[in-house]
Structures are given as C-alpha cells and as structure tokens.
Amino acid sequence: MLLAAAALCAALGGYWLAQQLDRASPRLASGTWLPRPKPVGDFRLTDATGRPFTRAELGGAPTLMFFGFTRCPDVCPTTLTKLAQVRKRAALASLRVLFVSIDPQHDGAPLLGAYVHAYDPAFLGLTGDAASILALTADFGVAASRVPLPGGDYTMDHSAVLFLLDARARIAAIFTPPFEVPALAADLRRAAPYL
C-alpha cells in the first residue's frame, strides 16, 4: 500500500512538473524555442538613416532578425515578402523586423533603406563595416561567404535563418526554411507572452 501511494505521488509530481515546464515555453509549429535564451553580444552597426545601431537598441521589443543582401536573387526577396505578410497577420504591434546586410561593400545605408522599405516601411535595415558584420554573423552562427562570378562580380551565399529575439536582446527562438506565413504568424502570437 505504501509503495502504491509513493508511486501515485511520483506520478502526480511528474505530471505537475511536466505541466510547469510546458508552460515555461510556447510550442512552436515552425521553429525551435530555445530552452535558455542566448544573449546577443555587443555590436555597432548603422541603420538605413546612417545612425548608429547597437545591442542596446534591440531591447524593449521583440525582434525578428534576418541576414541577407540586397542583390540576393531569390531567398531574401521571398523571405522579406513573407515577413511583411507575417507582421500583418501576427498583429503584434511591437514586433520589429531587422534585415542585416552581409554585403557591406555594396549595401550602403540609403540603398538598404530603400530595399527594406519596399517590403514594409516599418522594416529596419542594418549595415556596417566588414569586421562588424563578420563578428555579428559569428555571434549568431550565420554562414556568409562571398562567391566570385565571371567578369569580376560576386554574389553572397548565406544561411537563411530567422532569429526571434526577446525584449531583453536574447535569441529566444530560431526558424528555418521553408517559411510558411500562417504557421510563422501563429508561432509569433504563441511566443508573444514569453518575449
């Protein structure tokens, strides 16, 4: 009898613990919620208006961050188009979308601003010197490399990952392609209370 009571207590305790852990993070359909948010390291970039943008600016609101470049033929335009739809569908007023250029040689602030605003006027574009971009991509674990093309031009290969940052400038979730607008919007609504 004592053994049965102990087993019942252990089962109830396990159920309670599972419920508590389940409440500690949202269930995402299209991404991975990190069990421990990863703090973003210090950085200094420039926004599309030419003003400095640092880690401090990431605080205060949830942010979706994507790394790419303006001459990207398919992945970046497709992703930014979907992110514009996701922002509307998720209806999270405080959600920011940051597009960080991995091609600072080409993507100056004015060009970057025009590029991201073509998708959504609220999107922010960030650029900087090559060393700053390299440090930030390393911090996020983003692969980015320059690929020479015939005739002396080049393109960029890069990871196509979305990073969801909480209001404390920590990576809370990661989303990988394919990005589906309904699923991503629903995930962002689910995640909002945890951000």
Residue 180 structure tokens: 């589906």
Residues 43 and 159: their CA atoms lie apart, in Å, by: 20
Q: What is the pLDDT of residue 24?
A: 73
In Å, how far are 7, 76, 193 from 156, measured between CA atoms? 58, 11, 36
- What does the pLDDT read at residue 161? 97
| pLDDT of amino acid 23 | 54
State how far the Cα of 105 lies from the Cα of 186, in Å rounded to an integer: 36
How distant is the alpha carbon of residue 190 from its chain centre?
A: 16
Question: Could you give the domains of the chain?
Answer: 30-194 (3.40.30.10)
Three-state DSSP class for residue 155: strand
What integer pLDDT is reported at residue 150 of this predicted model?
94
**H helix runs in the chain, sequence order:** 2-23, 75-90, 109-119, 130-140, 181-191
Per-10-residue mean pLDDT of the chain, 195 residues long, equals 42 43 78 96 95 95 97 96 95 94 95 97 96 96 95 94 97 97 96 95
